[in-house]
Amino acid sequence: MQFWLAASFVETDQFLELAGAAERCGFHTLTLSDHIFYADFDSPYPYSETGTPGWDATTHWPDVWVTIGAMAAVTSTLRFAPNVYVAPARDLFTVAKQVSTAAVLSGDRVTFGVGVGWCKDEFLQTGQDFHTRGRRLDEMIPALRELWAGGTVEHHGTHFDYGPLSISPVPARPVPFFVGGDSEPALRRAARLGDGWLGNRIYTEEQLDRVLDDLRRYLKEYGRAVDALEIIAPLAAVPGADVYRRLAAKGVTGTMAAPWWLATPQEKARHGDGVELKVATMERFAEEVIARM
């Protein structure tokens, strides 16, 4: 079982210390989220009952790839992934260059968590078509794989038409694509094109069972093995080795946790609410859960 650290909403100046602590504690991957700006969004936020995001204009959203590059410089084994990067809100070659560079600088410690996004405003401001974002991502994933393989390539598709050309640097090993989202199009995209699936909310076991059933059905439909995908799923349960062994038996390969969300009153009183609390709760999680797995 892999343990991924969910570091969304963390203040920017805390990431380097958190990365070092995550590596010491045995976390497999550190994730961070992606948004370009804050505004009075016209698009409803799909993961709340009110449609209103749970953050405001003061919430930090540091650039994913700059932050990963900085964290890679102070670690040696920890992996990094956006959860998730809204690739279709950018042009293909910006994405190709950013991810490739981060993969090279980190020594191939990047997993590309990717999704279509929900915020129409971001697409409008970057000049990308919101309504074709899913179809463009479907074409973008194989195009990126071709670009990162090295050498001269060309592509003549519906949304991207270029070549012959090449980019450099390119990673020494393929960058894994983990598709985020639990809508039918997202699950189908993961089953058809992905190396893994990333859960984008906290799931009960019953909810997760339904997602797993859907993924297995789609994998079979696309002629792929039922165990072809890595499955990373945040779970709505008190952390414990027994819980995670049960998940592993269902085919889940990893879970996400932000241990400071479950800080005890004593920990809060002792450490405050800054990075010291986050590190202390990560150390406790490592001792009580990761070490027992």
pLDDT bucket at 293, cuts 50 / 70 / 90: confident
Output the pTM of the full model: 0.94
pLDDT value, residue 240: 87
pLDDT of 54 above 80: no
* Long-range pairs for 138-142: beta carbons < 8 A, 24 or more residues apart: 138/189, 138/193, 140/87, 140/88, 140/92, 140/95, 141/114, 141/177, 141/193, 141/194, 142/193
Mean pLDDT, residues 102-111 taken together: 98
pLDDT of 73 above 80: yes
User: Domain range spanning residue 221?
Assistant: 2-292
Query: Number of folded domains in the chain?
Result: 1
pLDDT value, residue 275: 97
Q: What is the largest CA-CA distance in the chain?
A: 61
Span 121-176, pLDDT tens digits? 999 999 999 999 999 999 999 999 999 999 999 999 999 999 899 999 999 999 99
Q: Closest Cα to residue 130, out of 190, 86, 179, 83?
A: 86
pLDDT bucket at 39, cuts 50 / 70 / 90: confident
Mean pLDDT, residues 25-47 taken together: 88
Q: Between residues 53 and 76, which one has the greater pLDDT? A: 76
- Give me the CATH number covering residue 276: 3.20.20.30
Q: How far is residue 178 from each of residues 39, 229, 232, measured CA to CA in Å?
A: 28, 9, 9
Q: Is 204 helix (H, G, I), strand (E, B) or coil?
A: coil
